[in-house]
Amino acid sequence: MTVVDPGRDIAYRRFRFPADQRSGRSDGLRATPDGLRLDGTAAPRTHGDAHAPATTGYATGTWTSPVTPAGFAATELVPSWTADTPPGCWLTVELRGWHADAASTGWYELGRWAADDSVVRRSSVPGQADDRARVAADTLRVTGATVTGWQVRVTLLRPVDTPTGPTLRSVGVVAATDPPADADPPADADPSADADPPADATGPPAATDPVPVDARRGGSGVAHGGGLVLDVPRYAQRLHVGGESRWGGGGDSWCSPTCVAMVLDFWGAGPTPQRYAWVDPPGPRPQVVHAARHCYDHAYDGAGNWPFNTAYAATHGVDTFVTRLRSLAEAQRFLAAGIPLIVSAAFTAGQVPGLDYDTRGHLMVLVGFTADGDPVLNDPYAPDDERVRRTVPRAPFETAWQRGSGGIAYVLRPESVPLPPAPAQANW
C-alpha cells in the first residue's frame, strides 16, 4: 500500500490543563482538577468597548505558552481552545510568531470568546494588519515575516462582583504551509458563505468493513478494501430559511453550527431541551438555532468562525479542536476510529459532481467512505433532511477541501474515544 507524500507541512500542538500549566507562564491563575482558574492575585482592570460593559472591573489571569517550534516556515496559524465561561465572564486568545530565538511578529488577538452572550459579545477582532501578518477572522496569515514557531496567550476575565469565574481546559494551535502549487493556496475569504441550493443526490452504498489506512504521513494514494459510513443524523440547514434570521442571516448561512449539531447528537452530547427552551417559536430543529446563536461572531457577523464552533461544542462535555489535514487518507483514519469530521470546502457548481452550487466556504460532515474510497457527506445545504446525505467523487472533493480551506477539519469526540495514531509530523 503506497502513500504519496504531498510535501506539505502541518503541525498541531495542544496544551491541556492542569497537566501543562508549568510548561508555560501563569500570572494570576491556579491549577484545579478541571483546568486553570483565577487565583485573585492580579490587580483588577477595566475594559470598555462594544464587546463588554465599560463600567465593570475585571479580575484577570493569563497563561502564556512556551515558544513552540513548528519545524518549518508557517504561512498560517489557527488557534482553538476549550473552556467554561459563566455569564459575564470571557477570555481572549492571542498569537505571535517566532523565528531564530526572537519574536518575529507582535501579538495579534484571535478572539474574544464567551459561551454566553447575555452580557459579553463574543467576536473576532478585525482590522489587525501590518507588514508582518494580518488577522482574517479566525486565522493569522503570515505575510512579511518568517515564522518557524509560535506562542499563544490566553487571558481569563471575571467581573469583580461575580463569584464564579472562567476555567481554561486546553488551548492549541495548528501551523501550516499553503497547499502545493497544484492545489491552489486557501482563499482568504472568511468561513461559512454558501449560495444556491444543491441538486438532489442519492444516498451512499451500504456500509461494510472499515477502509484500511496507512499510518504514514499524508497522501491520498491508498488502497480501498471496504467502506464505512457512520450513522450521523442528517440535519438540513435550509429548513431554517424564512425563520430565525439573527446570528448571521438564518438557515442559508448556518452550515457550520448545523454540522456541529449533527455531530454532537451523533455522540449523544447535544444540548438538553432546557438549554434551547429560549428558542420561540421552536421551528424545525431548535438545537440548530441554539448552536447558531452560541457560535455567532459579532464582528464577523456570521456563525462560521472555526474555533468559536469547536469551543461551543466543547461546552457539551466533548473534546474538540481545529486542525488541518493533508488529505482524505488522513481523514480516513478518523472515520476508521469511529470519529466523523467537519470539513470546510470551497467550489463552484459542477466542480464536485453532486454538489451543484457555488460557495466560497462551506462546512459539511464527512461521515464515511464507499468501498471505492469516495467520501460520503452529510451536506446541510439541502432542502430537507433526506437529501442531506451525498456521495461525491474522491479527487474533486479532496481538491475543493484542500484548495478551499487548506484542509480545515473540526474534531469533536468524547475523551473516551481515542484518536487514531498521529503521523510523524503530528497534526492531531
What pLDDT is stored for residue 116 in this prediction? 92
Highest CATH level, class, for 193-413: alpha beta
Is a pLDDT exceeding 50 seen at residue 229? yes
The tens digit of pLDDT for each residue in 126-146 reads 999 999 999 999 999 999 999
What pLDDT is stored for residue 44 in this prediction? 80
The tens digit of pLDDT for each residue in 259-285 reads 999 999 999 999 999 999 999 999 899
Residue ranges, CATH 2.60.120, the chain = 10-176
What pLDDT is stored for residue 42 in this prediction? 77
The β-bridge partners of 153 are 64, 94
The tens digit of pLDDT for each residue in 31-62 reads 999 999 999 887 788 776 667 766 678 999 99
CA gap 217, 419 in Å, rounded = 15
Q: Which residue has the higher pLDDT, 217 or 331?
A: 331
What pLDDT is stored for residue 181 in this prediction? 63
Determine contact, residues 113/93, Cβ cutoff 8 Å. Answer: yes
Q: For the ranges 75-79, 205-209, 263-267, 412-416, which has the lowest average pLDDT?
A: 205-209
Rounded to two decimals, what is the model's pTM? 0.88
Average pLDDT over residues 350-373: 96
| Mean pLDDT for all residues in the chain | 88
Q: For the ranges 5-9, 290-294, 349-353, which has the lowest average pLDDT?
A: 5-9
The tens digit of pLDDT for each residue in 393-414 reads 999 999 999 999 999 999 999 9
Position 225 confidence tier, pLDDT thresholds 50, 70, 90: very low
What pLDDT is stored for residue 149 in this prediction? 98
Report the percent of the chain where pLDDT is more than 90. 78
What pLDDT is stored for residue 186 in this prediction? 38
- Residue 283, CA distances (Å) to 15, 264, 268, 272 in order: 39, 19, 21, 16
CA gap 368, 231 in Å, rounded = 9
What pLDDT is stored for residue 49 in this prediction? 65
Is a pLDDT exceeding 60 seen at residue 305? yes
May I ask the CATH architecture of the domain 10-176? Sandwich (2.60)
Is a pLDDT exceeding 60 seen at residue 207? no
Is a pLDDT exceeding 70 seen at residue 194? no
Average pLDDT over residues 296-308: 96
- Please, which residues have CB within 8 angstroms of residue 379's CB and are 6 or more apart in sequence? 198, 201, 355, 364, 388, 389, 390
Residue ranges, CATH 3.90.70.10, the chain = 193-413
Determine contact, residues 368/347, Cβ cutoff 8 Å. Answer: no
What 382-387 contacts at long range (C-beta under 8 Å, 24+ apart), as own/partner pairs, is: 382/197, 382/198, 382/236, 382/237, 382/238, 383/197, 383/236, 383/238, 383/239, 384/236, 384/238, 384/239, 385/234, 385/235, 385/236, 385/239, 386/234, 387/200, 387/201, 387/236
